Chains A and B, each alone.
Chain A
Amino acid sequence: MLHRYPKRVAIIMLILTALVAAFPLWGEAVFGTQANFMLEKLTLMLILALFAMSLDLLVGIVGLVSLGHALFFGLGAYTLALASPDFSPASMWWMLPLVMGVSASIGLFIGVLVIRTKGIFFIMTTLAFGQMLYYFISTSQFAGGTDGVFIMFRPSLAIGERTLVDLDNPYSFFYFCLGMLLIGYFFLRWLTRSYFGQVLDGIHDNEHRMQALGYATSGYKLIAFVIAGVMAAIAGMLAAMQYGFANPAQLGWHTSGEVLMMLILGGMGTIFGPILGAFAYEILLFIYEHATTHWPILMGLTIIAAVLVLPRGIAGLIIAPPWQRKRNNDDAPAAKKEQASEAVQSTTPRKEG
């Protein structure tokens, strides 16, 4: 998985990041009075990109397909909503560690159970645990049942009396989310290139061989599961700050399905792909919702089409554009063979069990 990507990947991502970061400069010129609304949408996309990226660690890097990742997203949202004081803002200095601690312990608990399962069993059990928390929250009095919980005050980020970042201001919150996304990205990039990441990559390719080499693969998978959960919970916390409430729907399995969709649309196993996927998904959603009230049909068909014709996602298009593949076909049979085998490797199922 630890490919060296062509230079254009870095160039495209840098340009896009600069474009997004400069939105306050060009937003008003393009969207006029809609600029504030668009800023909110953009902030949400940044948050969802972090969420999708956290799932990539599980699905793309380790090869564990989770259909319950929304559990952690919702957990972050509810931890923030329930731990926030009613009449004053919480401090980010203890809220962030709290969210990370809660999600890590629940991730550890669930992880111990689900890591024992493989392949399709892992999909089903993660889904079932996600729904378990969903039903628990949506029938609990203290968590507001199906209505969810409102967050009266966003947490503050201050040293003493001095505010570092005013999270109530949409512009500074936008940059705060962008910062979190970048931290998440560079963290995952570092993690996947570290020794730990190499082992995860080995597990993805052939778990039995890694076990034969003496690696306790369950432990590695469990740690990856917990890390992915903590990152998703941070994204969930940011989402709850953005929405101003925590809602059971954030925990539901439709959210888990949507984030998987972002992952596949962007290109899994690439870390940067899910970011593109989250943006693409939200933009498509925005267009479909405006086109028809029956937008789920369009979204469903888009998902089906993406699975059938674009299994490597947008990232796959950037890394190996169709025209380049064609050129290889014409004048370099050896390169073609190599590329074909690489393509097969990343799209075919790895034997499990």
Chain B
Amino acid sequence: MDLAFFSVQLLNGLQYGLLLFLIASGLTLIFGIMGIINLAHGAMYMIGAYLVYDLNLRLGNFWLAIMVAIPIAIALGLIIERLFLDTLYKRDHLYQVLLTFGLILVLNEAQRIIWGGDVHRVPVPAPFDASIQLTDNLQYSVYRLFVMGVCLALAGVIYWVIRHTKLGIIIRAGAVNRDMVEGLGINVRTLFTLIFSVGVALTAFAGMIAAPLTSIAPGMGDNILITCFVVVVIGGIGSIKGAFWGAIIIGMATTFGAVLIPSLASMVIYLIMAAVLLVKPRGLFA
């Protein structure tokens, strides 16, 4: 493996990891603050990708499509939270698992009804549809670099909000002791709705910007969901920092695993998870 090839893999791993972080951060926020395990999180990623595919065809502009798709995703998050999750906060995780499992069935099938079972692609949008020539036969997509930049920027914003704003203080306090936050006069109900919508929007947004990089297919959300569970378990549930490093570890392991040990590639992330569980059962950053 020469240096150029190695650096391309490194970039790919970083890009995948950063994308995973966007999805996993929503998952971990929703769990950390609301105590809800949301299996339908992956389905929202899928819906984000399909929304952009559809709107891109209708509007003819990728960026416009994203602008329209984000409010739709937020609205969907609001509806789900108000309609279904409202009754579940005080109940056992088992019921949350089942209800969101039911939501997956509904959302996956709704996707089939609206967009069918075919695999779709979204063209890489201008002005990022170019490549940088690294060596004679190696090039790197500018769009991937752009995705990395966006993810890093969002990670920075999330970090800033959680560390340096009043909302962030409430979120951090809520993750430690929800009842106390409520006792101090914070409207937890509104906070929950906000967190859930933001979490869902982050995931859907990840699906949107990932759309030109992956094939858009039914069930794409299920795979990403389980990968994100592994990320969250490694990083520690409720920890944004853990989600970040967990995502980078998994991104790198997936990319390099596929190159170095192809026979075990699909197992690598689970083996890492098992190793982390052995040493730190509550995750690296919990």
Q: Which residues of A contact B (CB under 8 A)?
A: 59, 65, 67, 113-114, 116-117, 119-121, 123-125, 127-129, 131-132, 135-136, 139, 253, 257, 260-261, 264, 268, 294, 296-297, 299-304, 306-308, 311, 347-350
Given pairs A120-B93, A124-B229, A300-B103, 6 additional interface contacts (CB within 8 A): A117-B281, A128-B273, A257-B101, A264-B98, A311-B91, A349-B90
Q: Which of B91, B92, B102, B237 contacts A304 (CB under 8 A)? A: B102
- Which residues 253-286 of B have a CB within 8 angstroms of A? 266-267, 270-271, 273-274, 277-278, 281-282
Q: Residue among B92, B93, B282 with the most chain A CB within 10 A?
A: B92
28 residue pairs A–B, Cβ–Cβ below 8 Å:
A67-B97, A113-B274, A116-B277, A120-B31, A123-B37, A124-B37, A124-B229, A124-B233, A125-B233, A125-B273, A128-B229, A128-B230, A128-B233, A128-B270, A129-B270, A136-B267, A139-B266, A257-B97, A260-B97, A260-B98, A296-B105, A297-B109, A297-B113, A299-B102, A307-B88, A349-B91, A349-B92, A349-B93
B99 proximal to A (CB < 8 A): yes
Residue of A nearest to B274 (CB): A113
B6 proximal to A (CB < 8 A): no
B94 proximal to A (CB < 8 A): yes
B137 proximal to A (CB < 8 A): no
Residues of A within 8 A of B274 (CB): 113, 129, 132
* Given known contacts A65-B93, A123-B97, A297 and B273 CB-to-CB distance under 8 angstroms: no
| Interchain CB contact under 8 A, A116 and B281 | yes
Residue of B nearest to A253 (CB): B226
Q: CA–CA, A314 to B67, complex, Å?
A: 47
Q: Which residues of B contact A (CB under 8 A)?
A: 31, 37, 39, 84, 87-88, 90-95, 97-99, 101-106, 108-110, 112-113, 222, 226, 229-230, 232-233, 237, 266-267, 270-271, 273-274, 277-278, 281-282
Q: CA–CA, A347 to B266, complex, Å?
A: 38
Residues of B within 8 A of A117 (CB): 277, 281-282
* Given known contacts A124-B229, A128-B226, A128-B229, A301 and B95 CB-to-CB distance under 8 angstroms: no
Q: Residue among B88, B98, B110, B229 with the most chain A CB within 10 A?
A: B98
| Interchain CB contact under 8 A, A301 and B102 | yes
| Interchain CB contact under 8 A, B233 and A308 | no
Residue of A nearest to B233 (CB): A124
The B contact surface, by secondary structure, is helix
Residue of B nearest to A67 (CB): B97
Residues of B within 8 A of A301 (CB): 102, 106
Q: CA–CA, A307 to B109, complex, Å?
A: 20
Residues of A within 8 A of B31 (CB): 120
Q: CA–CA, A257 to B226, complex, Å?
A: 13
Residue of B nearest to A268 (CB): B94
Q: Which of B92, B106, B112, B270 contacts A347 (CB under 8 A)? A: B92
Residues of B within 8 A of A114 (CB): 277
What 8 pairs across the A-B complex have the smallest Cβ distances?
A: A300-B105, A303-B102, A132-B270, A300-B106, A135-B266, A116-B281, A296-B109, A304-B102
Residue of A nearest to B94 (CB): A65
Minimum CB–CB distance from B273 to chain A (whole Å) comes to 6
| Interchain CB contact under 8 A, B92 and A307 | no
Minimum CB–CB distance from A264 to chain B (whole Å) comes to 6
Residue of A nearest to B87 (CB): A308
| Interchain CB contact under 8 A, B101 and A347 | no
| Interchain CB contact under 8 A, B108 and A296 | yes
Residues of A within 8 A of B106 (CB): 296-297, 300-301, 304
Residues of A within 8 A of B98 (CB): 257, 260-261, 264, 303, 306-307
Q: CA–CA, A260 to B271, complex, Å?
A: 26
Q: CA–CA, A119 to B281, complex, Å?
A: 12
| Interchain CB contact under 8 A, A59 and B94 | yes
Residues of B within 8 A of A119 (CB): 93
Residue of B nearest to A113 (CB): B277
Minimum CB–CB distance from A89 to chain B (whole Å) comes to 33
Residue of A nearest to B112 (CB): A294
Minimum CB–CB distance from B176 to chain A (whole Å) comes to 13
| Interchain CB contact under 8 A, A65 and B233 | no
| Interchain CB contact under 8 A, B104 and A300 | yes
Q: CA–CA, A129 to B269, complex, Å?
A: 11
Q: CA–CA, A296 to B233, complex, Å?
A: 29
Minimum CB–CB distance from A273 to chain B (whole Å) comes to 14
| Interchain CB contact under 8 A, B226 and A127 | yes
Minimum CB–CB distance from B102 to chain A (whole Å) comes to 3
Q: CA–CA, A152 to B49, complex, Å?
A: 43
Residues of B within 8 A of A350 (CB): 92
Residues of A within 8 A of B94 (CB): 59, 65, 260, 264, 268
Residues of A within 8 A of B273 (CB): 125, 128
Minimum CB–CB distance from A91 to chain B (whole Å) comes to 33
Q: Residue among A127, A129, A260, A268 with the most chain B CB within 10 A?
A: A127
